[in-house]
């Protein structure tokens, strides 16, 4: 029997916190600002898009505390068990002076109105810890989730480029306290399940994956929260009651990545950031897409399992995974089953998931030799934007130059992520030539009747989907030209 404890325990800056009465929908930002009266972190949007509330959350990983930037506005307090939360109030330099990151920002005129600034400072601090002398592209990537409306970013980028001249991570005044902190955090991870509250207010932080499976089987009405990048908005924007909640973001077993010669298995709790190295090593074509999914904070929080499980028609992981022939592993209690990923999406808002059942992992077959694969995302703003459409293409061209196999899948074109079976059929058996490709482009209209909305018109979606097939053809035949942002 799993031991049960009755408190969410973590460290806030330098202080040990133990909470026995926390509503499941209490956000970290509200808790910081309203209860702790730490008001350096700001609310700009309450949906994880502007970054004004950015804080760092440290978690134990292979005996080290790893710090991720996260948006406190959509992170729930119940998910913080066993972590170290670092807010702008904790940042300081030696002798109470400004921290090197802060001083660089001041000296380079990196703030104007200042409202977004604490969030920028925290994102830059997270970057500086890992990479004190970042390239411009690394800076841009770290700041993808931070909006500034005043400066035009130029002085912030200059400040980031100068950070290392103000100090290096080994001299970080906050480094010393981490050694003691590690023991404190470790002690929290005592193998017990946390349960607090009752009914709609119940929070369950399972002790292990098996514990989660058991708890969810017996509480199928509960909301599962991993990264909260989707569920967070149910609360902050739609004021939905989400309790009881099972928080699973901390489960190490769900963060496993298993690779063998033929496939990669991502467990559901692997975040976009955590998946990046393995995924892009196996599928270089996925690198650009991955960089363009959300901002850094959301990539640190959001999980592959969550992106699939909630069945959004505009999630960016299903199209490439479907094109690659991914299998989804579902689990209910001790019962497991495996389905094709594409079969999971039944209709808008409806997935093949039974009460008490959850997405445990997804397996992605590696690309067989000779096959070609690409994925393209189109959005109004190039980065940190939800896809207008996202298309993945995979073909095998045989020695005769004929299409032996084609798998094409799109998001943003239908009520679910969906294969373009008519296009596939139009291609298979045809020579891989511009003529066949142009002929097959017409078949998109049979596969998809996209909608017009604030992201794009139906006409644009259809036209650009067709053109992406052309792009794929051109790239596989060495005639490709792709837009690139040229920065150092």
Partner 1 sequence: MDPKPQTAIALSSLHVGTRHDSGPKHVTGTAEYIDDLVEPAGTMHAYLGLSTNPHAEIAGMDFSATLAAPGVIGVLTAADVPGDNDVSSNHSHDEPLFPVDKVHFWGQPLFAVIAETRELARRAAHLAKIDYRPLPFVTHVRAAQAAGGTLVTPPLKLERGDMAAGMAGAPRRVKGSMEIGGQDHFYLEGQIAIAVPGEDEDVTVYSSTQHPTEVQVMVAQVLGIRQHAVTVNVRRMGGGFGGKETQSNLFAAVAALAAKKWNRACKLRPDRDDDMTATGKRHDFVVDYDVGYDESGKIHAVDAVYGARAGFSSDLSGPVTDRALFHADNAYWYPAVRVRSEPLYTNTVSNTAFRGFGGPQGMLAAERWIEDIAYSLGKDPLEIRKANFYGTDSNNITPYHQEVTDNIIHRVVDELEASADYQARRAAIVKYNAGSPILKKGIALTPVKFGISFTATWYNQAGALVHVYKDGSIHLSHGGTEMGQGLYIKVAQVLADAFGVGLDTVKIMATSTGKVPNTSATAASSGTDLNGMAAFDAARQIKERMTAHAAKLHNVAEADVRWVPGGVECGDKFVGFAELAASAYLNRVQLSAAGFYQTPKIHWDRATGRGRPFYYYAYGASVSEVTIDTLTGEYTVDRVDILHDVGHSLNPAIDTGQIEGGFVQGLGWLTTEELVWDDKGQLRTKAPSTYKIPLASDVPPIFNVRLAEWSVNTEPTIGRSKAVGEPPFMLAMSVMEALSMAVASVADYAIAPRLNTPITPERVLMGVQRLAREHKQA
Q: How far is the CB of 387 from partner 1 (least distance, A)?
A: 12
- Is 176 or 454 the residue whose CB approaches partner 1 more closely? 454
Provide the β-strand partners of residue 355. none
Q: Least distance (Å) from partner 1 to the CB of residue 8? A: 20
- Candidate segments 75-83, 359-367, 374-382, 436-444, binder of partner 1 by CB under 8 A: 374-382
- Residue 456 CB, nearest distance to partner 1 (Å)? 6
Pairing state between β 193-196 and 4-5: parallel
Out of 146, 307, 351, 416, the only residue in the binding site for partner 1 (CB under 8 A) is 146
Which member of 4, 276, 470, 476 binds partner 1 (CB under 8 A)? 470
Binders of partner 1 among residues 219 to 248 (CB under 8 A) are: 236-237, 239
- The reply to whether 162 sits near partner 1 by the rule CB under 8 A is no
CA atoms within 13 A on the CB side of 412: 30
Residues within window 1-20 making contact with partner 1, judged by CB under 8 A: none
E strands, 151-240, where? 193-196, 203-205, 223-225
Rounded Cα gap, residues 41 and 60, in angstroms: 24
Question: Could you tell me the CA-to-CA distances from 314 to 53, 55, 307, 308, 387 in Å, in that order?
Answer: 25, 27, 9, 10, 6
Q: Smallest Cα–Cα separation from 100: which of 162, 179, 14?
A: 162
Q: Is the dihedral of CA 193, 236, 114, 123 positive or negative?
A: positive
CA distance 477 to 474: 5
The verdict on 297 binding partner 1 (CB under 8 A) reads no
Residue placing its CB nearer to partner 1 in the complex, 155 or 305: 155
- Which lies closer to partner 1 via its Cβ, residue 106 or residue 346? 106
* Under rule CB under 8 A, residue 106 binds partner 1: yes
- Of 102, 271, 303, 361, which one interacts with partner 1 (CB under 8 A)? 102
Residue 127 backbone dihedrals phi, psi, to 5 degrees = -70, -45
CB-CB contact of 417 with 387 (8 Å): no
Q: Which of 18, 20, 94, 154 binds partner 1 (CB under 8 A)?
A: 154
Nearest to 321 by CA among 386, 412, 418, 214: 418
Q: Which is nearest to 38 in space by CA: 12, 17, 59, 18?
A: 12
Nearest approach in angstroms of CB 232 to partner 1 is 12
Nearest approach, Cβ of residue 36 and partner 1 (Å)? 13
b/e map of 201-226 (b: 16 or more CB within 10 Å)? bbbbbbbebebbbbbbbebeebbbbb
Contacting range for partner 1; rule: CB under 8 A; set: 303-311, 405-413, 431-439, 463-471: 463-471
Residue spans of alpha helices (H) in 18-75: 28-30
Residue with smaller CB distance to partner 1, 140 or 360: 140
Q: Is 150 in the site for partner 1 (CB under 8 A)?
A: yes
Pick from 7, 17, 36, 107 the residue near partner 1 by CB under 8 A. Answer: 107
Q: Which of residues 389-408 bind partner 1 (CB under 8 A)?
A: none
Please, which residues have CB within 8 angstroms of residue 286's CB and are 6 or more apart in sequence?
A: 279, 280, 320, 375
Which residues in the 32-91 window bind partner 1 by CB under 8 A?
33, 39-47, 49-50, 52, 87-89, 91
Q: Which of 98, 181, 282, 425 binds partner 1 (CB under 8 A)?
A: 98
Determine the interface stretch with partner 1 among 144-152, 305-313, 322-330, 422-430 (rule: CB under 8 A).
144-152
Between 262 and 481, CB nearer to partner 1: 481
Please pick, from the candidates 433, 464, 476, 477, the single residue that binds partner 1 as defined by CB under 8 A: 464
Q: Which residues contact 69 (CB under 8 A, 6 or more apart)?
A: 54, 55, 56, 122, 123, 126, 142, 145, 296, 297, 300
């Amino acid at each position: 029997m799993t031991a049960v404890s009755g408190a969410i325990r973590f460290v806030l800056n330098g202080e040990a916190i133990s909470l026995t009465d926390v509503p499941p929908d209490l956000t970290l930002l509200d808790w910081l600002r309203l209860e702790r009266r730490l008001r350096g972190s700001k609310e700009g949007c309450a949906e994880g898009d502007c970054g004004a509330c950015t804080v760092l959350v440290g978690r134990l990983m292979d005996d080290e505390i790893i710090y991720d930037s996260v948006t406190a506005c959509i992170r729930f307090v119940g998910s913080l068990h066993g972590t170290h939360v670092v807010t702008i109030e904790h940042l300081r330099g030696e002798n109470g002076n400004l921290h090197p990151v802060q001083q660089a920002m001041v000296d380079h005129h990196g703030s104007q109105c200042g409202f977004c600034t604490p969030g920028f400072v925290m994102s830059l601090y997270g970057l500086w810890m890992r990479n004190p002398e970042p390239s411009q592209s690394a800076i841009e990537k770290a700041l993808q989730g931070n909006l500034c409306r005043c400066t035009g970013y130029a002085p912030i980028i200059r400040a980031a480029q100068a950070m290392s001249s103000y100090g290096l991570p080994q001299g970080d005044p906050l480094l010393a306290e981490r050694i003691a902190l590690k023991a404190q955090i470790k002690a929290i991870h005592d193998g017990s399940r946390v349960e607090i509250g009752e009914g709609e207010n119940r929070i369950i932080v399972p002790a292990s994956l098996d514990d989660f499976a058991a708890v969810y089987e017996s509480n199928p009405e509960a909301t599962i929260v991993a990264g909260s990048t989707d569920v967070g908005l149910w609360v902050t924007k739609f004021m939905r009651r989400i309790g009881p909640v099972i928080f699973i973001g901390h489960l190490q077993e769900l963060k496993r990545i298993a690779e063998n010669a033929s496939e990669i298995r991502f467990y559901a709790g692997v975040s976009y950031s955590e998946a990046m190295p393995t995924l892009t090593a196996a599928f270089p074509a996925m690198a650009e897409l991955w960089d363009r999914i959300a901002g850094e904070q959301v990539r640190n929080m959001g999980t592959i399992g969550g992106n699939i499980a909630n069945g959004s028609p505009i999630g960016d992981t299903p199209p490439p995974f479907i094109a690659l022939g991914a299998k989804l592993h579902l689990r209910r209690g001790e019962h497991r089953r495996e389905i094709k990923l594409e079969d999971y999406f039944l209709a808008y808002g409806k997935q093949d998931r039974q009460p008490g059942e959850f997405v445990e992992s997804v397996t992605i077959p590696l690309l067989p030799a000779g096959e070609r694969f690409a994925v393209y995302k189109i959005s109004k703003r190039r980065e940190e934007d939800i896809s207008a459409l996202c298309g993945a293409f995979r073909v095998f061209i045989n020695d005769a130059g004929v299409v032996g196999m084609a798998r094409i899948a799109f998001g943003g074109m239908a009520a679910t992520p969906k294969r373009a079976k008519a296009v596939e059929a139009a291609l298979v058996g045809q020579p891989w030539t511009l003529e066949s490709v142009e002929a097959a482009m017409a078949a998109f209209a049979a596969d998809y009747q996209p909608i017009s909305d604030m992201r794009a018109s139906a006409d644009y979606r259809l036209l650009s989907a067709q053109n992406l097939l052309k792009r794929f053809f051109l790239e596989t035949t060495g005639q490709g030209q792709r837009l690139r942002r040229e920065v150092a």
